[in-house]
A and B are shown apart, each in its own frame.
Chain A
Amino acid sequence: MQVSPPRTLLELFTGFLSIGARSFGGVMPWAHRVMVEERRWMTPEDFTETIGLCQFLPGPNVGNASIVLGKRWFGIAGSLVAFLGLFALPFVWVLTLFAFYADFAATSPMLRAVVTGVGAAGAGMFIGTAIKLGKPIARNPYVLALIAACFVAVAIVRISLAVVLPVGLGIALLLARRGRL
């Protein structure tokens, strides 16, 4: 496949702008569509590799991808431009929606019920995603125990992430180095 990276910062900006503008229901599918299929900035393999790194790093996936790719193509200016392009429109939209919502919610129990329902569905998306990600690795009893321990510590005992993450990761790294994960 013939690929050519963006030639100007403007091109980079409009590319990420169009990802952000259309990304209802998840950013990643749109990032793939724009960068691999529409604009042919990169190969599908390159895309998967980059997203893989970004999933492992803290922060929003595609937000990180905008930093990494912007840097690759234009240095620090590219990182800034790509990141701003990605977030500009969604930021305006989410605030507008929230401001409208705050105005109407007080007077409309119906609207509150709808938004609460959307929230519950969103919670279900988290649960479904966790099961999807967990399924291929959960045959291993150590993995299952780590998932369960993490879940109980965070959701039921409500221990701070600042404790759970380093402790959990430390144990997991030890197990991984001994070939148990």
Chain B
Amino acid sequence: MTLLEVALYFCVLSIFSVGGLPSVMPEMQRYVVEVKGWMSPAEFMQAFAVGQAAPGPNMLVTSLVGYHVAGLTGALVALAAMCGPAAVLAWWVSDLWDRFKDSPWRKAIQRAIAPIVVGMILAGGVILATPDATPDWRLWSIAAATAIGILVTKVNPLWYLAAGGVLGAILL
């Protein structure tokens, strides 16, 4: 029954995931942790951390939520549900998008979507850096240092994740 719920929820979330995982992260956390209680805030953050550290599209975090709820089947179902509807839409829209290359509506849509996606990604970062009700300055410092790092240097992001791990071991 839970598996069906997971499938349905991720199918809906899939359609909303403009901008990829970052923009739906706050909603996923709200539903999985706060509404359903499938994972604790700390478990969710750690699944996210494992998903970030592993190679591949970060959408794979959804398969970890599925795995936590219903094992290997859950992992497959969650990932298929999260990618399926979006994939069907991409398959269907790609010709249409080319055809409306110079349409003013296409340009309006592109401009309208940008600020919304930025707001969602920002919210995703802040929520993930605050897994408990009270903000932890150590997690905030690691997040702030990483944000500044990727803004001012061009180093492979993997180094920041590694540095975050080392800082975590020292500070936490």
* Chain A contact residues, CB within 8 Å of chain B: 20-27, 53-64, 67-68, 71-72, 76, 79, 83, 86-87, 89-91, 93-95, 97-99, 101, 105, 110, 112-134, 137, 143, 146-151, 154-155, 158, 160-162, 165, 168-169, 172-173, 175-177, 181
Report how many residues on chain B are interfacial, defined by Cβ distance under 8 Å.
101
Cβ of A121 to closest chain B Cβ, rounded Å: 3
Cα separation A153 to B89 with both chains bound (whole Å): 27
Interface string of B45-60 (1 = CB under 8 A from A): 1111111111111111
Cα separation A27 to B60 with both chains bound (whole Å): 12
The CB with the most chain B CB atoms within 10 A, among A76, A151, A173, A175, is that of A151
Cβ of B154 to closest chain A Cβ, rounded Å: 11
Residue B47 contacts which of A98, A162, A165 (CB distance < 8 angstroms)?
A98
Cβ of A102 to closest chain B Cβ, rounded Å: 8
Cβ of B48 to closest chain A Cβ, rounded Å: 6
A161 touches B24 (CB 8 A): yes
Label chain B's interface by main secondary structure.
helix
Label chain A's interface by main secondary structure.
helix
A79 touches B91 (CB 8 A): yes
> With A98-B67, A151-B123 known to touch, is A93 a contact of B56 (CB < 8 Å)?
yes
Cβ of B29 to closest chain A Cβ, rounded Å: 9
Cβ of A10 to closest chain B Cβ, rounded Å: 21
B8 within 8 A of A: no
> Which residue of chain B lies nearest to A178 when distances are taken between CB atoms in the complex?
B108
> With A137-B115, A150-B120, A161-B24 known to touch, is A123 a contact of B18 (CB < 8 Å)?
no
B168 touches A117 (CB 8 A): yes
Cβ of B119 to closest chain A Cβ, rounded Å: 3
Cβ of A147 to closest chain B Cβ, rounded Å: 4
B79 touches A91 (CB 8 A): yes
B103 within 8 A of A: no
